[in-house]
């Protein structure tokens, strides 16, 4: 009887911890996924072209110069997945801050990479796992205003991840992607023009619940 009570208490504690840390932590197969208010269940919308009004973000996600203390050199990109912000270090404790969309649960990651390639109006090839979830998607889509990768893409190392634009401005500030970082097109064009190939990119992710 005492063993059963102990197990019940442990189970209740585990559920409380999972609820407290969602959506910042990566999902584990043996844990329940708790719905999040900022994890949007939005499918890709190839062909949709956002209007300038749609690309006007909430003020807190608009591009702006902010105080940011770091030892990293000017020109470094630092991404805080949990904050939904990308910072381009300017020096003198300042950074340009951009609102971003990030990976949903199970697709968030952290690490150190470099921009290995840059592309204007990139083509889009949905990965097989995305095709499984959304079988109606095209297998290839040429770059253009209605392309889900948006106006620019910066490829991270030899991975499948990118910093790119989006034709879905409403997803900025939310966890919705398959691990890439998305910005509205005016912001990704601004960032693209400021950073060269070889730029250091540091991705911070809140640790998963163990």
Largest CA distance in the chain: 66
Q: Is 13 a catalytic residue?
A: no
Tokens of 15: 């559920």
Task: Kindly report, residue by residue over 1-59, the tens digit of the pLDDT.
Answer: 333 333 443 443 333 333 332 333 333 223 323 334 454 455 665 546 677 777 789 89
Q: What is the mean pLDDT of the chain?
A: 77
How many whole angstroms separate alpha carbon 78 and alpha carbon 35? 27
Tokens of 90: 């300017």
Residue 129 main-chain phi, psi, to 5 deg: -65, -30
Q: How far is CA 62 from CA 8, 22, 106, in A?
A: 46, 25, 27
Verdict on whether the full-model pTM lies above 0.85: no
Kindly name the residue from 13, 48, 180, 204 that is annotated as catalytic.
180
Strands 152-156 and 162-164: antiparallel
Task: Kindly report, residue by residue over 134-154, the tens digit of the pLDDT.
Answer: 777 766 677 788 888 999 999
Task: Kindly report, residue by residue over 99-120, the tens digit of the pLDDT.
Answer: 999 988 888 889 999 999 999 9
Categorize the per-residue pLDDT at 164 as very low, low, confident or very high, splitting at 50, 70 and 90.
very high
Categorize the per-residue pLDDT at 178 as very low, low, confident or very high, splitting at 50, 70 and 90.
confident
How many whole angstroms separate alpha carbon 79 and alpha carbon 17? 25
Query: Does the domain spanning 3-32+50-204 belong to CATH 2.40.440.10?
Result: yes
Domain regions of the chain by residue span: 3-32+50-204
Kindly name the residue from 13, 48, 80, 164 that is annotated as catalytic.
164
Q: Is 164 a catalytic residue?
A: yes
């Amino acid at each position: 009887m005492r063993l059963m009570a102990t197990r019940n208490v442990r189970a209740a504690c585990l559920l409380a911890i999972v609820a407290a840390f969602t959506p910042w932590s990566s999902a584990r197969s043996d844990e329940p996924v708790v719905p999040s208010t900022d994890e949007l269940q939005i499918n890709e919308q190839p062909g949709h072209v956002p209007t300038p009004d749609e690309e006007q973000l909430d003020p807190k996600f608009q591009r702006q110069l902010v105080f940011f203390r770091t030892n990293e050199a000017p020109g470094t990109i630092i991404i805080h997945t949990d904050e939904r912000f990308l910072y381009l270090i300017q020096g003198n404790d300042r950074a340009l801050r951009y609102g971003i969309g990030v990976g949903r649960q199970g697709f968030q990651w952290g690490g150190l990479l470099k921009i290995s390639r840059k592309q204007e109006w990139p083509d889009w090839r949905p990965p097989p796992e995305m095709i499984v979830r959304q079988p109606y998607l095209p297998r290839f889509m040429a770059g253009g205003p209605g392309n889900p990768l948006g106006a620019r893409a910066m490829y991270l190392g030899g991975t499948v991840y990118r910093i790119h634009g989006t034709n879905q401005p409403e997803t900025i500030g939310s966890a919705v992607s398959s691990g890439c970082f998305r910005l509205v097109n005016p912001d990704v064009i601004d960032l693209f023009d400021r950073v060269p190939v070889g730029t250091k990119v540091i991705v911070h992710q809140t640790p998963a619940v163990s």
